Amino acid sequence: MTAADPTQAPKTRRPWQAAGAAAAVVGACAVCCAGPVLAVLGGLSIASLAGALWMPALAVIAVAALVVMALVLRRRRNTTCSAPAGPIDLGMPPTPSRAGASGAEDKPVDTF
């Protein structure tokens, strides 16, 4: 072991000095970051307030959309299964008759 030097000042340990410096650092950080943190928390609370107010309106709109969709699907199902009674005219031209066929209305067809 070495002997203590009489010219050197004795080292005193002050544990509260380090704690005070840490508190000052934390305080400076809190002052610096308080504005953005409060802005984020305020934005979240405003967004949740808007969501709480708009949620019932959105639920009403969703229910109305489901009712309209059910009505449209029911109408489509009913109309696709119905057909008019009797023969249906397709609007196709009459077929020409063959040459040499018997009958007064038969006309010969030119072949190319």
pLDDT in tens, 29-63: 878 877 887 788 888 888 787 777 777 888 888 99
Q: Which of 112, 111, 110, 107 is nearest to 94 (CA)?
A: 107
What is the number of other CB atoms lying within 10 angstroms of the CB of residue 106? Answer: 13
What pLDDT is stored for residue 79 in this prediction? Answer: 64
pLDDT digits (tens, 9 = 90+) for 54-104: 778 888 889 999 999 999 988 877 666 667 788 877 787 777 766 655 555
CB under 8 Å to 106, separation ≥6 — which residues? 97, 98
- Quickly list DSSP for 73-93: HHHHHHHHT---SS-----PP
CB under 8 Å to 107, separation ≥6 — which residues? 96, 97
Residues 49, 38: Cα–Cα separation, whole Å? 16
Model pTM score: 0.31
**pLDDT exceeds 60 at position 2:** no
> Does 9 or 45 have the greater pLDDT score?
45
What pLDDT is stored for residue 44 in this prediction? Answer: 82
